[in-house]
Amino acid sequence: MTTSTEMSQLAIVTGASSGIGKATAQRLAADGFHVLAGVRKQSDADKIAEVNIEPVILDVTDQTHIDNLVERVASDPHKRPLRTLVNNAGVAVNAPIEVLTLDDWRFQFDVSVFGQIALTRALLPALLANKGRIVNITSVGGRVAMANFGAYSAAKFAMEAVSDSLRREVEEFGVTVVKVTPGAVSTNLTDSGLAAAARIADTMTPEQHERYDELGKAFTAQAEGFARDGVTPEHAAGVISRAVTARKPKTRYTIGRDGAMFTFMPRIASDRFLDTVLRSQNKSLAKTKS
């Protein structure tokens, strides 16, 4: 139910062009927030603009964009306080570590770690002043690092640490930090991840193809399975809405059965057991693409 308090507050959602981010912007707008929806292109802004959703051009790696957003919040014509920052923007660079270039690693971290940190730091004074909430969208890849997910998982593991440290630094000042951990969600991040993997595969040597082509088939099958069987972005947005609006939120919410399973599994399973399970899973997935 929308409250008058929520209607008088701002929420920022990054990566709102599509998928989880777009669905979250729409859900929070329906909850009554005025949502500043971060998108990278004007064409995406035109598509998402609607009642209570104000698109803002935001590349989290561009300091000018960040400064503009901070100014937009500070100069809100209705003097609405910033209630929530949902850090959702991210990319997926998936390939074996041997074949990833340092530029690939930098791109993954620039968007998925350093950009998130830069935006959070810039908005933290407003969030502190308003006793707001930061919701970081993590991943099961930040709990279990699977083969072919080295750069992506490293970035998500980093955001797990950033989230925990920040929560312990600012909670006593009234700012709540919450992690939301999705499993398989049907979004276009799957398509962009497959495209990035194909681009990198084109640079591999014959010896690397011999080593990793089966792994590439497994990754493709898994990604296609996410697109086919994953929960909808709207389902994910419902969980994020709870993380935003709960009076006493948990420190983590999971999305989907696999989100819950992979969050819990590292606590009870040994590394060797996980190695065996994941290796067997990859072999089975690869067969489906042979």
Percent of the chain with pLDDT over 90: 79
- Does residue 258 carry a pLDDT above 90? no
- Read off the tokens for 196: 């990035």
> Is a pLDDT exceeding 60 seen at residue 6?
no
CA distance 194 to 182: 19
Which tokens hold the place of 247?
Answer: 């009076």
> pLDDT value at position 7?
61
The pLDDT of 232-246, averaged and rounded, is 97
d(CA 124, CA 136): 14
Which tokens sit at 28? 């929070």
Task: Compute the average pLDDT of residues 92-104.
Answer: 95
With contact defined as beta carbons under 8 Å apart, do 124 and 74 qualify?
Answer: no
Q: What is the mean pLDDT of residues 45-72?
A: 97
pLDDT band at 3 (very low <50, low <70, confident <90, very high): very low
Q: What is the pTM of this model?
A: 0.92
Q: How far apart are CA 255 and CA 235, in angstroms?
A: 8
Query: Residue 135 above 90 pLDDT?
Result: yes
CA distances to 119, 130, 167 from 173, rounded to whole Å, are 19, 10, 10
CB-CB contact of 83 with 10 (8 Å)? yes
Size of the chain in residues: 290
193 vs 50, more confident? 50
Domain ranges of the chain: 4-288
Residues designated catalytic? 152
Q: Specify the amino acid at residue 130.
A: N
Top-tier CATH class for 4-288 = alpha beta
Q: Which two tokens stand for residue 56?
A: 């803002």
Q: Is the pLDDT of residue 47 over 60?
A: yes
